[in-house]
């Protein structure tokens, strides 16, 4: 929306200059000055004629001098000396018109837009910009319907989805916001702020309960950005609510280092820290670990040591000719539902095939995201030409069906070319 206003201002400025500049540039000569200049020119012509007559013998020197004196006397009567020398211009009568147009044209353009333009679109881009330069929200029902229509037509439009999610939150439609954030995190997987906002909306939709899935989303946000203020604040609140006071203290002490000490947020965090420290001093003990969902969650923790998955990876005969022995081979596990980041990763090379693999919690990319946190995962084996774990055209891969941690004897045959 800022770009829109900049373009409009530039176009309006060009239009005003196009109309006003010629009016300001124009000069108007004083009519008296113009008349005197004409008389002076006539005088010069008459003198030139008399000079020619004197030279040709048509005038005697006496008559020439007499005629010259008469012309000079008449010229002095008709022409003021200051007028002859001045020739200055008077005030431009178009200047007032130019100034008036410079004021009226922008006002008329704005008024016309306000009358026949889309004012809801103005509200969609200008209301309640979120802190830190985040996307704006809409408040009117008409603007929201238009935004929902745009998202329906362009489901990959990240900016519109972000605006829609924040608008739902502002309208306290937390379930709708959670669904929208779920779509967003599938399009933008590494944005810590999105994961934190998703966790917040989901918790609000669940009666302000951060346990379970919201906690997993918070941990995902902290994986992507350990210094994200919102994720740290939510992580501390989640830890406090389950009685894990040391974790709450750790998250909030970290957060206090990142925010202005005199801010309202700092005062709230300080109060929370005091509460956690008091509870811990009175004999409070840590509760459920931060990365373990409660009973009844769709992500059921597996008993410690039973999370490992074993199997074999091979490369199909059809693709062997397209693989280089030094190409990178990734074997990873990813949650079937939840954050898209890998839960465990092995990095090898094609020359290591066939590969006997074991995936377990020791291979987790982050302590908050482990195989043991999830009931079902998908296994992926990929030959990467670029060495990047994300798929690119030309890579080769295979994806398993949903698998429970603790499974063994899984067979993965890489047989699909990424396009």
Does some domain include residue 125? Answer: no
- pLDDT tens-place string over residues 340-364: 778 888 999 999 999 999 999 888 7
Work out the average pLDDT over 305-320. Answer: 89
**54 & 113 share domain:** no
**164 & 66 share domain:** no
Last residue of one domain, picked from the residues 86, 108, 125: 86
**156 & 205 share domain:** yes
Residue 286 has pLDDT above 70, yes or no: no
**274 & 216 share domain:** yes
Work out the average pLDDT over 125-153. Answer: 69
**79 & 113 share domain:** no
More confident residue, 166 or 40: 166
**343 & 381 share domain:** yes
**17 & 45 share domain:** no
Distance, in Å, from the CA atom of 121 to the CA atom of 225, rounded to the nearest integer, reads: 33
Distance, in Å, from the CA atom of 129 to the CA atom of 217, rounded to the nearest integer, reads: 24
Work out the average pLDDT over 17-24. Answer: 72
**329 & 216 share domain:** no
User: By the 8 A CB rule, do 202 and 217 touch?
Assistant: yes
**153 & 219 share domain:** yes
Count of structural domains within the chain: 4
Domain CATH number, residue 275: 1.25.40.10
User: By the 8 A CB rule, do 247 and 286 touch?
Assistant: yes
**344 & 249 share domain:** no
Residue 127 has pLDDT above 90, yes or no: no
Residue 58 has pLDDT above 80, yes or no: no
DSSP strand E in 341-404: where?
344-349, 355-359, 377-384, 396-399
Does some domain include residue 198? Answer: yes
**148 & 271 share domain:** yes
Does some domain include residue 124? Answer: no
Mean pLDDT score of the chain? 79
Work out the average pLDDT over 299-315. Answer: 72
Describe the strand order of the beta sheet including 328-335 as a list of residue ranges.
344-349, 328-335, 377-384, 396-399, 416-417
Task: Tell me the residue range of the domain where 18 lies.
Answer: 2-27+93-117
Confidence of residue 34 (pLDDT cuts 50, 70, 90): low
Does some domain include residue 292? Answer: no
Does some domain include residue 289? Answer: no
How far from chain centre, in Å, is Cα 185?
A: 16
**256 & 387 share domain:** no
Residue in 345, 349, 342, 363 with CA at minimum distance from that of residue 315: 349
Does some domain include residue 315? Answer: yes
- Give the pair of three-digit tokens for residue 29: 């000569």
């Amino acid at each position: 929306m800022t770009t829109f206003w900049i373009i409009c201002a530039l176009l309006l400025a060009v239009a005003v200059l196009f109309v006003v500049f010629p009016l300001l540039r124009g000069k108007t000569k004083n009519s008296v000055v113009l008349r005197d200049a004409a008389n002076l020119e006539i005088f010069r012509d008459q003198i030139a004629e008399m000079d020619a007559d004197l030279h040709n013998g048509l005038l005697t020197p006496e008559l020439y001098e007499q005629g010259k004196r008469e012309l000079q006397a008449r010229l002095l009567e008709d022409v003021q000396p200051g007028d002859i020398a001045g020739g200055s211009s008077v005030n431009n009568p178009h200047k007032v018109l130019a100034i008036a147009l410079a004021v009226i044209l922008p006002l008329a353009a704005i008024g016309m837009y306000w009358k026949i333009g889309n004012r809801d679109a103005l509200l969609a881009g200008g209301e309640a910009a979120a802190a830190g330069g985040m996307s704006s929200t809409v408040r009117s029902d008409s603007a929201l319907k238009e935004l929902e229509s745009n998202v329906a037509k362009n489901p990959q439009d990240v900016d519109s989805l972000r605006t829609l999610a924040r608008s739902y939150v502002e309208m306290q439609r937390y379930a709708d916001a959670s669904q929208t954030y779920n779509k967003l995190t599938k399009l933008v997987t590494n944005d810590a702020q999105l994961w934190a906002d998703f966790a917040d909306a989901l918790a609000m939709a669940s009666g302000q309960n951060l346990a379970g899935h919201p906690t997993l989303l918070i941990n995902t946000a902290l994986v992507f950005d350990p210094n994200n203020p919102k994720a740290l604040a939510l992580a501390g609140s989640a830890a406090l609510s389950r009685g894990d006071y040391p974790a709450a203290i750790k998250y909030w002490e970290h957060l206090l280092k990142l925010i202005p000490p005199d801010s309202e947020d700092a005062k709230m965090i300080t109060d929370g820290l005091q509460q956690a420290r008091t509870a811990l001093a009175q004999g409070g003990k840590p509760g459920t670990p931060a990365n373990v969902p409660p009973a009844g969650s769709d992500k059921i923790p597996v008993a410690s040591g039973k999370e490992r998955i074993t199997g074999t990876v091979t490369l199909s005969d059809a693709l062997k000719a397209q693989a280089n022995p030094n190409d990178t081979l990734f074997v990873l596990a990813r949650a079937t539902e939840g954050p898209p980041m890998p839960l465990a990763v092995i990095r090898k090379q094609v020359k290591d095939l066939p590969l006997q693999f074991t995936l377990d919690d020791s291979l987790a990319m982050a302590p908050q995201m482990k195989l043991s946190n999830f009931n079902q995962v998908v296994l992926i084996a990929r030959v990467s030409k670029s060495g990047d774990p994300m798929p690119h055209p030309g890579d080769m891969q295979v994806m398993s069906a949903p698998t429970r941690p603790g499974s063994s004897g899984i067979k993965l045959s890489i047989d699909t070319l990424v396009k």
